[in-house]
Structures are given as structure tokens and as C-alpha cells.
Amino acid sequence: MQVNVELLKEWFADFNVRYFGGSLPVPAFAVGRSRTQLGCMSCKVRRKMFSKSYTDYTIRLSNYYDADERHFKNVLLHEMIHLCITSRRIKDTSPHGEVFRRMMRTINADGWNISVSTKMDAVQRSAGRARKRMRVVLAVTMTDGRCLLSVVSPRYVPAIDRTMSRAQGVVRYEWYMSDDDYFSTFPVVRTPRGRIVGKDVFAELIVKMKPLDKTWR
């Protein structure tokens, strides 16, 4: 797919409320054709004698590559973190420093896959490394409606499976194999614990994964 300004406005409004309490200033939006920079956030700096202020925020995404909606939303969220840090005048250790990474991890916990770089070469290298690694994934649906995903150490799959079969509050659990780079930030666990994700993300990932052969049962 390709994005346009109207889509960016719609997604921004949703994410602003969902992840930033509706506090971000609404920037101008633009769509370009950069081959190397998938997104950027820019602004004008007005300097006074002892201070400076930021105005005219713009978020730009590249349409050079034909990508899916999730890709563009991850890039937009990356730039929204920059907008948040800049507009609130938060000091960080670097452009993608401790503050940026903390905010990124918080949003990624909701099922996103924001990375510290939106440069195409870095994204390609990261994706290439992730595709080479196959992971065992536990997918769990709880009675309260929560959906959890977990990357499990293969050695501990039988023990965790036995625990899950007796666990209360579990509607369904299944084992899968996946090389999706979505799971690159997940810890490899040895005990039954997982990351809560949105139902839409959960369903999207389940369709793409391969069921694990349960020969131990």
C-alpha cells in the first residue's frame, strides 16, 4: 500500500490519544519518495538570548517502498516519539537515547515493532538477521479477553506446556514457529510468562505462523 496525508492525520489522531494522552501538537504531514529515510520529524527552532522555542512541526513518511499498513504505522509512531520529546523539551542522552528507547518499549508492549532507526539500510539489516532465526512462540487467550504472546526456549516447551494445561483463566493456548522480526525484542523465557498484545495484532500474527509439531504430548 501507499500512504497519504489524510491517512497520516487519521492515524496520528488515534495514536495521540492512545499513547500520548492527546497532548502532542498536531504537526503538518507530508509524503515523500526517499529511498533511505522511511520517516522524519522536523521543526523550526527560534533562538532568543537565553532560550529557544520550537515551531512548525512536520512529520514526513516515504512512499518509495510499497509496504503494509503496519510498517507505516510503526514509522509514524517512531516520529511521534521524536515529536513528544522535542515539543515537551525533554532532554535525552542522544537522538535515540534512553528516553526515546523507554517510550519505544512502552508502546511496543502494546504489540508494535518500532525500531530505533527509520533508515532503510538499518531496517533491512535488522530484518535480515531476524528472518534467519526461527523462534518457538506460545500464543494464549485468557478468559478476561487478554491475548498474550511469548517466545519460549525450546528446551522448556514440554514443562511450560504441562503448566499451561493446568492453568486457570486460560481459554486456549497453542504453540507456533515463527521467524517474524516482530518477536526480535521478546525475551526468550523458561517460565510461563508473556507479553499482552492487541487482539488485532494477535490475530494477524497467528495467521502467519506455523503450528509447532507437538510430539512431546
pLDDT at 79 over 80: yes
Rounded Cα–Cα distance for residues 111 and 199 (Å): 9
Give the residue, 46 or 155, on which the prediction is more confident: 155
* Residue 5: per-residue pLDDT: 95
pLDDT of amino acid 131: 45
Q: What is the pLDDT of residue 41?
A: 93
Residue 207 CB partners (closer than 8 Å, separation 6+): none
Q: Which ranges in the chain are annotated with CATH 3.30.2010.10? A: 5-128
pLDDT of residue 186: 85
Name the CATH topology of 5-128: Zincin-like (3.30.2010)
pLDDT of the residue at 31: 93
Beta strand extents in 19-66 (DSSP E only): 28-32, 39-47, 52-62
| 120-148 tens-digit pLDDT | 554 544 444 444 589 999 999 999 999 99
User: What is residue 75's predicted lDDT score, i.e. its pLDDT?
Assistant: 94
For residue 217, the model assigns a pLDDT of 61
The β-bridge partners of 195 are 149
Q: Which three cell numbers stand for residue 71?
A: 510498517
Enter the pTM of the model.
0.56
Residue 181 — pLDDT band, cuts 50, 70, 90? confident
Q: Cα 122 vs. chain centroid, distance in angstroms?
A: 16
As a residue count, the chain comes to: 217
| Strand pairing class (170-178; 195-197) | unpaired
